[in-house]
Amino acid sequence: MTYAAPARPNRNWLVIGILAFLVQGGWTLWVNLPHGLGRSAISAAMQGLLSGVSASVMTLIMEWIYRTLSPSPLRPIASALGPILLMASVLYAVHRVIGTPEIAATMALPMIAIVAYAIVYTAKLSRRSRSATVPTTKKTP
């Protein structure tokens, strides 16, 4: 039996996106504030936007990788690692282009959140996959 990822990744995507925007944008504003409010605000707005969108994009990518690969021990690793590397690259490139002064400090908290989310969501996909393949027997009295 093959595993089919859910059609709708997360019912609370808007709330998660808003929280990610506020937390990650606030963090970015704080770590870059010594370089001036204007520059910090641009970096904070960009980080907030990236964080808000990244949760849904990561979810879709993890589900796609998980569905595409055949069951093996590497399947959950690839499902988590692919989006982590992609998001790290995107975050670094965007902050480099917009001139964020403290790129490493800016990326620290978002990367912790990205790694944690990828691990938890991939574990959830694995658990769902195992429960979908376990045959259920119905006992009759």
pTM of the prediction? 0.69
Residue whose tokens read 């944008």: 25
Q: Average pLDDT in the 59-68 region?
A: 86
Each residue's pLDDT tens digit, 20-37:
889 889 988 999 999 999
- Tell me phi and psi for residue 11, to 5 degrees: -70, -25
Q: Average pLDDT in the 119-134 region?
A: 82
CA angle 107, 8, 58 (to 5 degrees): 20
Q: Average pLDDT in the 33-58 region?
A: 87
Each residue's pLDDT tens digit, 91-122:
899 989 989 889 999 899 889 988 998 999 89
Residues 111 and 40 sit within 8 Å (Cβ to Cβ): no
Q: Which of 92, 19, 23, 27 is closest to 56 using CA atoms?
A: 19
Both tokens assigned to 127? 């658990």
Q: Which of 85, 51, 78 is closest to 63 using CA atoms?
A: 78
